[in-house]
Chains A and B, each alone.
Chain A
């Protein structure tokens, strides 16, 4: 396995500054390895976007980080940066150059009063001040080509572009400085299915060419099928399962993952009854004690109500070294593990 390029260790994030603050993330640990595509999935409000923005310190007020470490380790040189302890200038220098974010390309992500070309290249002037204007312009044209938009649109304003084009501009913008990590926050949510497909293919292609690592955030598990190498599932501000993508699909180890997977019908294979998960995600301000998923879990037992499971190895231990799961079933003997959680 490759070296870790972004390591998030026990990150905790609150919304609010007083005692009523909502604990949006609690002790989340996640590692992104060089060259891999890590999918971050979960329902709306589970904290996946919060995780990405907190790790890059872009979470808006009233967000505040209350614990943990986030380390970026460059694969091109010997640099390493602790993002939570860095100074403003260190952080600014690292931003976009090392880690870039593809925001949702909704109307608001682009500055309405600047032309597209300017927004594609203003960070070049900041990070590589010696670049000539001609070179910057050439780079802008390159970027537009990469995402399949005609370079004449460089002189347009954001409101003149369609939704799909804006999203592609966001992708192009993220790649401008050839970053090592690209975080994609629901890049296809606002688009129709056909557009989604195109964008996903574009991302795959760009990644194959440039080799950057990706964190792909989405609530749509079906997208991660082809895209991801690993998948981390989040629920109520914690990671509940973390495993290679193939394994998650064929052999989920957490009841929530199993529920998610059975919620969408496969296009091929025998017809089966559509599952789903009863109930709705918990209110983060009134979390149940013990496992947050227990109220909705079909296989919860007594301990689930008062003991909170940590993210640990599965019950199969060293046989599945790259898998982690946060479920009390995996502390019990293998025989007691429910059938649907112990497929191979």
Chain B
């Protein structure tokens, strides 16, 4: 219990740090890009909107830094991230809430599939050393050395343009109206397969390797020999004694690497024009939509923190030594 409380405290501190970082970044960088854009939109903004943008970007020279900080926090807690420049006058929070579910679906699903597949493959590869699975390792390593987006490009070239199996872009068929019917869901699925495949192919190698190495290490632990000496079935020893212990570092690595995974999937969205957060971020960078950029960054960071917390809870359930740590 104490372990979880410590972790929760850590996440709160990290969240605070991320939000504060977000506050400082535009103020630390040279130049004044926001001013110019604000001037451009000047007549179309309400005074409230203008004010919140000022707070967001530190343009209010009258207020002291501390006061700006407090107002910034006030806005954040109200979900006010300002107005998007490129989707003007839609508030940033609305843009984000429309695209976040797509990313959660795609990234969430692909990451879990990749982790599960990779870990299972790693269990077998580490258990039966010298098998064909070991030969698979260089191949998957090669794939993990390539940027996500390049695999995405190849996937599009081969499967979408070449073989015409899957659509090349988008989240669903633009001709359909979004609703919960079979046609729409089917279209969502078929549009999601290539991006998901890209993510899985690129990231699976890391899990296979990590699990395999841990299996090799754990297999030579005494308790595995004891399990064999007891005459237990091979499956029981492999999973119950070896894998169950070997998976622990992988779970904590999973949590830590969520940041990296999210980064990679963002780029995949960009290539596939998949309507998620990554795509939105790309558009925002392209059109220098600073409020949107910062809102997206904040949401991504907070989501990663939440995912980390979930991973920590899972780890606690798996390792009794942590659970009972008094």
Chain B residues near A109 (CB, 8 Å)? 222-223, 226
Q: Counting CB contacts under 8 A, is A160 at the interface? A: yes
A113/B236 in contact, CB under 8 A: no
The smallest C-beta distance from A103 to any residue of chain B, in angstroms, reads 6
Q: Are B319 and A113 in contact (CB under 8 A)?
A: yes
Task: Give the residues in chain B near A21, CB-CB below 8 Å.
Answer: none
Q: Which of B222, B229, B231, B319 contacts A126 (CB 8 A)?
A: B231
Q: Is the CB of B227 within 8 A of A111?
A: yes
B232 touches which of A60, A106, A113, A126 (Cβ 8 Å):
A126
Q: Size class of A's contact patch?
A: 20 to 34
A153 within 8 A of B: no
B230 in the interface (beta carbon within 8 A): yes
Interface residue A123 (Cβ < 8 Å from any Cβ of B): yes
Interface string of A46-71 (1 = CB under 8 A from B): 00000000001010100000000000
Residues of the B chain whose Cβ atoms lie less than 8 Å from the Cβ of A104: 222
List of A residues within 8 angstroms of B226 by Cβ: 101, 103, 109-111
Q: Does B225 contact A (CB under 8 A)?
A: yes
Whether the Cβ atoms of A95 and B233 lie closer than 8 Å is no
- For the complex, what is the distance from the CA of A95 to the CA of B226, rounded to whole Å? 11
Q: Is the CB of A127 within 8 A of B231?
A: yes
Residue B30 is within 8 A (CB to CB) of chain A in the complex: no
- For the complex, count residues of B whose C-beta is within 8 A of A: 23
Q: How many A-B residue pairs have CB under 8 A?
A: 75
Task: Decide if A157 is an interface residue (CB 8 Å cutoff).
Answer: yes
**Does B318 reach chain A (CB closer than 8 Å)?**
yes
- Assess whether A101 is in contact with B321, with CB atoms less than 8 Å apart: no
Q: For window 96-120 of chain A, which residues contact chain B by CB distance below 8 Å?
A: 96-97, 100-101, 103-104, 106, 108-114
Interface string of B220-264 (1 = CB under 8 A from A): 111101111111110010001100110000000000000000000
Within 8 A of B (CB), among A112-146: 112-114, 122-123, 126-127
A92 sits at the interface (CB 8 A) = yes
Is A111 within 8 A of B230, CB to CB?
no
Q: Interface code A143-166, partner B: CB below 8 Å = 1, 0 otherwise?
A: 000000000000001011000000
Tell me which residues across on chain A come within 8 A of B324, comparing CB atoms.
Answer: 157, 159-160
A255 to B227, CA, bound (A): 40
Q: Is residue A94 within 8 Å, beta carbon to beta carbon, of the partner chain? A: yes
| A-B contact list, 5 entries, CB within 8 Å | A95-B228, A109-B226, A112-B321, A157-B320, A157-B321
A residues with a Cβ closer than 8 A to B are: 56, 58, 60, 91-97, 100-101, 103-104, 106, 108-114, 122-123, 126-127, 157, 159-160, 173
Enumerate the 7 nearest inter-chain pairs by beta-carbon distance, A residue then B residue, closest first: A95-B231, A108-B222, A123-B230, A92-B231, A111-B223, A157-B320, A109-B222
